[in-house]
Amino acid sequence: MDPVFVGMIGLLVLIALIALRMPIGYAMILVGAGGIISLNGPGILLSQLKTLAYGQFSIYDLSVVPMFILMGALATRTGLSRDLFRAANAWFGWMRGGTAMASIAACAGFGAVCGSSLATASTMGKVALPELRRFGYSPALATGSIAAGGVLGILIPPSVALVVYAIIVEANIVSMFAAALFPGLIAVLMFLVTIAIYVRIFPESGPAHGAEDKAAFWAATRGIVPTLVVFGIVIGGIYAGLYNPTPAAAIGVFVVFVFGLLRGSMSWQDMRESALETAATSGMIYLILLGAELLKIFMSRARVPQAAAEWAVNSNLTPMMVLLILLIALILLGCLMDSLSMILLVLPFFWPVLSEINGGALQGAEGAAFGMSTEELKIWFGILALVVVELGLITPPVGMNVFVISSLARDVPMMTTFRGVAPFFASEIVRVVILIAFPTLSLWLPRVLSG
């Protein structure tokens, strides 16, 4: 039987298992192992398993993942989210739609110390939803703005998804963090503009409230200092070349922990819950990584990525058309699975296609199809892919951020929340177009830091 045909059958089986709600890590392990056995026999599988788990989990860069998860878990329990929202509300709340804008700004700030979209949406939902209700915001705008704001956690560094992507395509983590900064800030700005336009069209959806007096304003503003300190120490230290991401994450955990102790908001129970949450989340990610590696071996032996790359090269499609097809596929897949699973499942197939089309590794940036080297293509495509993956967090039927917010606002129909995120979805599409048209927005800072 043709190996490529076997590989395609394996993909169909994988999709069927995911549709049946089997955890994606187990599904990938099952399909990967079964596929290897069907192609090469059980001996090859046993030979791979002998060192695969150790080889995968002992990657030094991967140790940054539990550190960033722990930093986010601790930050959730130290009250940083509440301080960020109070400060943002002091700055924006006096405007029409200002409290929704404050939710976006607070999500961005919390994402800078959390690195997880779901955690950002959940934490800020608990803080911001009561205030949005108190000021009479429409259910659609209240829930939609927080669900959309949560997606900022996946791109604004530090981000677990950025680290995982960098490991998959063997990109530099520092360069990925640098590339994500401007696109993340653009997202924040565009979300704020989206809210301003929305409340101009529907004035009753986002009423303003009175401005804070000067003393309360500065007291609230001082609340962002701890977050700025953590972000400056972690990301600023990485950009300055003082340390690599792993020690930076460890330092960030220590700073957040000390802040919690000094503030008196960190109890033994909080530390225990943070450690258990980190262990559970990291274990889930590592299991998916193992499954993705087995699936990657199976697909490589079945020559599916090679066949896809050959098809793309030999087709009459331009490189930009191929890129657009891949991004549209990511949007559609995002409607069916969570973001991290999608990154681990799909990118090992998509990246070889773009790399083969670009040819930058052999020709250099001038002769490459996308006008950049393979290393820069990794960075640019990674940012585009993660922005598109963000869309999956707020699109039906598996918009994970929408599910999180719906669990906090049970009286708001889920379709109302989906309507609330629709303007932000449109804003994200515009951002994708901008980032495609102007790759420099993603590549300028990595070039500066590497030069």
| pLDDT higher than threshold 70 for residue 201 | yes
The pLDDT, as a whole number, for residue 361 is: 41
Residue 429 CB burial class (10 angstroms; 0-12, 13-18, ≥19): middle
Task: Please answer whether residues 395 and 336 qualify as being in contact, where contact means their C-beta atoms are separated by less than 8 angstroms.
Answer: no
For residues 398-420, give the mean pLDDT.
84
pLDDT at 362: 40
Q: Which of 268-282, 331-345, 361-375, 392-406 has the lowest mean pLDDT?
A: 361-375
What are the tens digits of pLDDT across the range 39-72?
A: 888 888 888 788 888 887 887 878 888 888 888 8
Asked if 428 and 390 count as a contact pair (C-beta separation under 8 A), the reply is yes
Checking if the pLDDT of 280 tops 70, the result is: yes
- pLDDT tens digits, 439-450: 999 999 999 887
Among the ranges given (158-162, 274-278, 417-421, 433-437), the one the predictor scored with the smallest mean pLDDT: 158-162
Cβ pair 187, 144 in contact under 8 A: no
Q: What is the pLDDT of residue 438?
A: 94
- Cα radius of gyration (the chain): 22
Element (H, E) at 435: helix 414-437
Contact partners, residue 202, CB within 8 Å, separation at least 6? 138, 141
Q: What is the mean pLDDT of the chain?
A: 85
Integer Cα distance of 276 and 279 in angstroms? 5
Average pLDDT score over residue span 364-368: 52
Considering the chain, what percentage of its residues have pLDDT values greater than 90? 19
- Residue ranges of the alpha helices (H) in 173-267? 173-201, 214-221, 225-231, 237-239, 245-263
Helix/strand number for the chain, H first, E second: 23, 0
Element containing residue 56 per DSSP (H, E): helix 42-57
| 269 burial level (CB within 10 Å; 0-12, 13-18, 19+) | exposed
Domain boundaries, the chain: 1-58+286-302, 61-280
Residue-level pLDDT at 341: 75
Q: pLDDT tens digits, residue range 304-323?
A: 877 877 777 777 788 888 89
- When pLDDT is cut at 50, 70 and 90, the band that residue 360 belongs to is very low
pLDDT tens profile 239-251 = 888 888 889 889 9
pLDDT of residue 211: 67
Q: Kindly report whether the global pTM for this prediction surpasses the value 0.95.
A: no
For residue 8, the Cα-to-chain-centroid distance in whole angstroms is 28
What tens digit of pLDDT does each residue of 343-356 get?
877 887 888 888 88
Helix spans in 58-172 (H): 64-77, 80-92, 98-114, 117-134, 139-150, 160-169
DSSP secondary structure string for all residues of 306-336? HHHHHHHHHSS--HHHHHHHHHHHHHHHHTT
Check pLDDT > 50 for residue 153: yes
Condensed to tens digits (0 to 9), the pLDDT of residues 112-122 reads: 887 778 778 88
- 335 or 129, which is more confident? 129
pLDDT at position 430 is 93
